[in-house]
Chain A
Amino acid sequence: MSAIQYIKDIYGAVKSLLIGMKQTGYYFTHHKEIITQNYPEEKQQLAERFRGEVVMTHDSNNEHKCTGCTACELACPNGTIKIVTKFEQTPEGKKKKAIDKFVYHLELCTMCNLCVVACPTDAIKMDQAFEHSVFDRSQLTKVLNKPGSKIMEGVE
């Protein structure tokens, strides 16, 4: 290796390092761009489609749209949903199938959205809540239909 080549190599090395240091210097002097957030105090607005947990929508009359067809139960890959049905007496004296309990195991759920897609009446949807920490695992098993709720008129 000639002496000129040796000096050229040193020059190239120092130059490449200085180019890199220029970037470092830029970020050192331009620190206005803040990309982090103080999480528990400041909360970011989550996307409207964000999948946090499955919820059942109820209207102001405490009525839901779930017919108990178990399409979501069959679509779920993990056995997260368990639907317990009962028979209700209609005014005409006929027996009609209705849901008793819509049991949802949050601890098994992977938020894959397959149950929401499978639902023929749009009774369930995904909610943005994501802070699911609890002290006991049994608290993660939820009943999604509110107590005393019944099926909306006209939903079959």
Chain B
Amino acid sequence: MLEEVSAIDQGDMIINIGPQHPSTHGVLQLVVTLNGETIKKVEPHLGFIHRSIEKMCESLTYRQFIYVTSRMDYLSSHINNHGCALCVEKGMQIEIPERAKVIRVLMDELTRIASHELWWGAMAMDLGAFTPFFLSFRERETITDIMEDTCGARLTMNYIVPGGVMVDLHPDFQRKVKAFIKLFREKADQYNELVTGNIIFQSRMKNVGVLSKEDAISYGCTGPTARGSGVNCDIRKLYPYEIYDQLKFDEVIETGCDSFSRYLVRVKEMYQSISIIEQLIDNIPEGDFQAKTKAVLKLPKGEFYTRVETARGELGVYIVSEGATTPYRIKFRSPGFSNLSALNHMAKGGKIGDLVAMMGTLDLVIPDIDR
């Protein structure tokens, strides 16, 4: 799908957005070719925050490499760790206890809400509303407190280990999560009133950054970005892992194909995650939180691939093992990279002022794109 590089006509202007720019949420450089106010081409330049995480993982053992993946998509670090742990467990054929499965799913969904909350605040801030940023951080703080109690860290948790989870839940966990559910249900409706229904917000989002269903599939978009274009791509529904096949939740799909549908998908997904948590919070089974594993993990010779649904889309973990204690090769299929590749197609013909709305609804996390 390589687009023809159009020659620069007379009167065209090339400007840089980034690498240091408030609306890029990280070190992303966009080289934008403009004709007046109309965008002709958007060229993302990557690599400013490349840390060669895949290469680093090759020198770390199967217990150690999981913590590095928290630094890829730092807003859904729990789900990254989950994907890696699942891949190691698949290779070792470790059966993990029911309690660990439930804890993992609970933590995943809390992380998803925290990530979408932060995105919601940042999205509204990009479009000129400053208050939502503070409001969303206030609620997100409740989740980071829950994480801090149980996992010991607020952002890079490193809580999931091959065979289960690192430590048992904090005694206060259930009480705090229930308090959060109550708080969220109260506040989220207020937020919809404040932002979603706002006429200025809607006019800036509707029919902006249109990505058709066919294009979303051919660019490899996943997650809320593709579901906003009507693509059925939730890994939790299509390839259920852990206990997702026993849970009742809807895959949120909007068919508007524009920025506003992608916005609605994320907002509705928060309610779905809350309903998953409500189903599980009173039914955490008793038992071990970790399966007994060998001190030194050695994956058998072969190739292993697992995928999980992060807050941004499908994360694939591919491990090639030669039978040693360290992986021979690791490849991560990150959702952000594929989603970003659709930006040029979405932005072409649009206005420069709408570029921020398009970038905002892609929910870019630059360390995830560069790795």
Residues on A lying within 8 angstroms of B by beta carbon are 12-13, 16-17, 19-20, 22-24, 27, 35, 46-47, 49-51, 75-77, 110-114, 117, 126
In the complex, the chain B residue whose C-beta lies closest to that of A33 is B138
Which residue from B153, B161, B166, B199 sits with its C-beta under 8 Å from A111?
B153
> Restricting to B6-41, which residues have a CB under 8 Å from any CB of A?
none
Are B67 and A114 closer than 8 Å at their CB atoms?
yes
Stretch of B144-152, B210-218, B342-350 contacting A (4+ beta carbons < 8 Å): B144-152
Are A75 and B63 closer than 8 Å at their CB atoms?
yes
Are A23 and B199 closer than 8 Å at their CB atoms?
no
Residues on B lying within 8 angstroms of A by beta carbon are 60, 63-65, 67-68, 131, 138, 141, 145, 148-153, 156, 158, 161, 166-167, 170, 190, 193-195, 197-200, 202
What is the bound-complex CA distance between A117 and B160, given in angstroms? 12
Minimal beta-carbon separation of B108 from chain A (angstroms): 19
Are A49 and B148 closer than 8 Å at their CB atoms?
yes
Which residue from B63, B145, B153, B197 sits with its C-beta under 8 Å from A20?
B197
17 pairs, A vs B, C-beta closer than 8 Å = A13-B199, A16-B202, A17-B199, A27-B131, A46-B148, A47-B145, A47-B148, A47-B170, A51-B153, A77-B64, A77-B65, A77-B68, A110-B156, A111-B152, A112-B67, A117-B161, A126-B152
Are B152 and A47 closer than 8 Å at their CB atoms?
yes
Are A113 and B193 closer than 8 Å at their CB atoms?
no
Minimal beta-carbon separation of A42 from chain B (angstroms): 16
A76 CB contacts on chain B under 8 angstroms: 64
B156 CB contacts on chain A under 8 angstroms: 110-112
Which residue from A22, A51, A77 sits with its C-beta under 8 Å from B152?
A51
Known pairs A17-B200, A77-B60, A111-B153; list 17 more (Cβ under 8 Å).
A12-B199, A20-B197, A24-B131, A35-B141, A47-B145, A47-B148, A47-B152, A47-B170, A49-B150, A50-B152, A50-B153, A75-B64, A77-B68, A110-B67, A110-B156, A112-B67, A112-B156
Counting from the closest, the 10 A-B pairs by CB-CB distance are: A77-B64, A49-B152, A13-B199, A112-B67, A51-B152, A47-B148, A16-B199, A23-B194, A112-B158, A47-B149
> With A17-B199, A35-B138 given, is the CB distance from A49 to B63 under 8 Å?
no
A23 CB contacts on chain B under 8 angstroms: 190, 193-194
Are A113 and B68 closer than 8 Å at their CB atoms?
no
> With A20-B194, A77-B64 given, is the CB distance from A113 to B166 under 8 Å?
yes
A17 CB contacts on chain B under 8 angstroms: 198-200
In the complex, the chain B residue whose C-beta lies closest to that of A12 is B199
What is the bound-complex CA distance between A110 and B66, given in angstroms? 13
What is the bound-complex CA distance between A118 and B306, given in angstroms? 27
> With A24-B131, A114-B63 given, is the CB distance from A49 to B149 under 8 Å?
yes
What is the bound-complex CA distance between A22 and B190, given in angstroms? 10
What is the bound-complex CA distance between A126 and B153, given in angstroms? 11
Which residue from B64, B148, B158, B193 sits with its C-beta under 8 Å from A19?
B193
Minimal beta-carbon separation of B128 from chain A (angstroms): 13
Which residue, of A12, A47, A49, A110, has the highest number of chain B Cβ atoms within 10 A? A47
What is the bound-complex CA distance between A102 and B155, given in angstroms? 28
What is the bound-complex CA distance between A144 and B68, given in angstroms? 25
B145 CB contacts on chain A under 8 angstroms: 47
> With A23-B190, A113-B166 given, is the CB distance from A16 to B197 under 8 Å?
yes
In the complex, the chain A residue whose C-beta lies closest to that of B161 is A117
Are B67 and A77 closer than 8 Å at their CB atoms?
yes
Are A20 and B198 closer than 8 Å at their CB atoms?
yes
In the complex, the chain B residue whose C-beta lies closest to that of A128 is B152
A50 CB contacts on chain B under 8 angstroms: 148, 152-153
